[in-house]
């Protein structure tokens, strides 16, 4: 039994999402023929994919550039996925390897670029390489990316005042964006709807003469610091922590707690750790209540399966310590 458990931990867990259900199924079946690769999630649209990945431990995400019948929707889905599960490594399946498309894939955080014209055996090698931390792309795709970078016009604002064109709320949106927050996270921090945040971004794009979040970040990185002299990401982190975001409070505590850092301040670091513990309590209660409610509606085999999968995920990520809290209960 022990050897079987050890073997089960050695496979690479994969989520697959192609543009149609039949293409997704065929792709999953082909990948599963390779020993050591196991497709645990299949989906043919972004909604089902995001929901499924939240329920299962995933190492590598293989998804089409085109989802929901929208060209490029796969890239937005990858961004959303990385915000929810930063450890997942993404591979984009391309019908076309046009230079700008390849560059957009890398901008979205893809670790692998794979043309659908290539052989399935090559895709399996791509999955293994990406899982090991390597970047996968053919030389022609890398050439395309470099060509697109070289020919990209320099980013410039439509007005010499640059960031000064923006309203206070628009500057807040940029600060949170620079801190790596998604539209949904920005909306939560500012108590707005995601749709309103998207509208703010469109207005910001128009005012500053940029066409994407990437160009906006390049522009703001070269602009002035925040009002307190700090960088925009730090200002956003400070504001989020002050607004009661426990993850931002932990990041701020780590920032002040670094030995040798310019802003090393153990008192502030400890204070933010204390506040993070306090603000995280309601979330912990919500998790506990949700867990207990679900458990009452589940059978013992279902509970056992969930506990096994959680334990396997933790072990595979080398985060499983001596605690046996997530070990399956004896039958």
pLDDT of the chain, 331 residues: tens digit per residue? 334 433 444 789 999 999 888 999 999 999 999 888 999 999 988 888 888 887 778 899 999 998 888 888 888 888 888 777 778 899 999 987 777 788 788 878 888 999 888 888 899 999 999 998 888 888 877 776 666 666 654 444 444 455 667 788 888 888 777 666 778 878 888 888 888 888 888 888 877 777 666 666 656 555 544 444 454 456 556 666 777 777 777 777 887 787 665 567 788 888 888 888 887 777 777 788 888 888 888 899 888 888 888 777 666 654 433 333 444 444 4
Cα–Cα separations (whole angstroms), residue 97 to 77, 103, 118, 193, 259: 19, 10, 12, 35, 46
What are 93's strand-pairing partners? 64, 114
Q: Residue 324 gets which letter from DSSP?
A: -
Q: Do 90 and 63 touch, CB atoms closer than 8 A? A: yes
Q: Do 185 and 175 touch, CB atoms closer than 8 A? A: no
Domains assigned to the chain: 10-151 (3.40.50.2300)
CA atoms of 194 and 148, how far apart (whole Å): 31
pLDDT digit string, tens, across residues 194-203: 888 888 888 8
CA 309 and chain centroid, separation: 21
> How many helical (H) and strand (E) elements, i.e. helices and strands, does the chain have?
15, 7
- Which candidate, 46, 65, 154, places its Cα nearest to that of 103? 65
Q: Do 288 and 325 touch, CB atoms closer than 8 A? A: no
Q: Do 87 and 57 touch, CB atoms closer than 8 A? A: no
| Strand 112-115 to 66-67 pairing | unpaired
Residue with tokens 């046009």: 98
- Give kind and range of the element (H or E) at residue 64: strand 60-64
Query: In terms of C-beta density within 10 A (0-12 exposed, 13-18 middle, 19 or more buried), how is residue 307 classed?
Result: middle
Residue 102: CA count within 13 A, CB half-sphere: 21
């Amino acid at each position: 039994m022990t050897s079987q458990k050890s073997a089960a931990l050695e496979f690479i867990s994969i989520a697959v999402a192609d543009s149609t259900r039949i293409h997704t199924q065929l792709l999953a079946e082909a990948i599963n023929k390779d020993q050591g690769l196991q497709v645990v999630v299949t989906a043919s649209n972004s909604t089902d994919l995001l929901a499924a990945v939240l329920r299962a431990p995933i190492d590598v995400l293989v998804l089409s550039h085109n989802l929901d019948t929208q060209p490029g929707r796969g890239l937005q889905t990858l961004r959303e996925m990385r915000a929810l599960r930063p450890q997942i490594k993404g591979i984009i399946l391309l019908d076309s390897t046009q230079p700008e498309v390849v560059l957009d894939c890398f901008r979205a955080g893809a670790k692998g670029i794979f043309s659908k014209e290539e052989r399935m055996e090559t895709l399996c090698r791509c999955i293994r390489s990406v899982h090991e931390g390597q970047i996968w792309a053919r030389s022609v795709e890398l050439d395309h990316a470099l060509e697109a970078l070289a020919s990209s016009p320099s980013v410039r604002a439509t007005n010499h005042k640059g960031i000064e064109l923006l309203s206070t709320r628009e500057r807040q949106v940029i600060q949170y964006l620079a801190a790596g927050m998604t539209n949904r996270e920005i909306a939560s921090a500012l108590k707005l709807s995601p749709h309103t945040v998207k509208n703010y971004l469109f207005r910001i794009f128009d005012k500053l003469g940029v066409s994407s979040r990437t160009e906006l970040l390049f522009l703001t990185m070269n602009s002035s610091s925040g009002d307190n002299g700090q960088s925009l990401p730090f200002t956003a982190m400070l504001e989020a922590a002050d607004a009661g975001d426990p993850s931002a409070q932990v990041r701020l505590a780590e920032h002040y707690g670094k030995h040798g850092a310019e802003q090393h301040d153990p008192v502030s670091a400890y204070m933010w750790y204390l506040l993070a513990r306090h603000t995280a309590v309601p979330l912990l209660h919500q998790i506990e209540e949700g867990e207990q409610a679900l458990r009452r509606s589940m059978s013992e085999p279902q509970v056992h399966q969930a506990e096994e999968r959680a334990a396997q995920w933790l072990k595979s990520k080398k985060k499983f310590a001596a605690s046996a809290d997530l070990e399956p209960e004896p039958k």
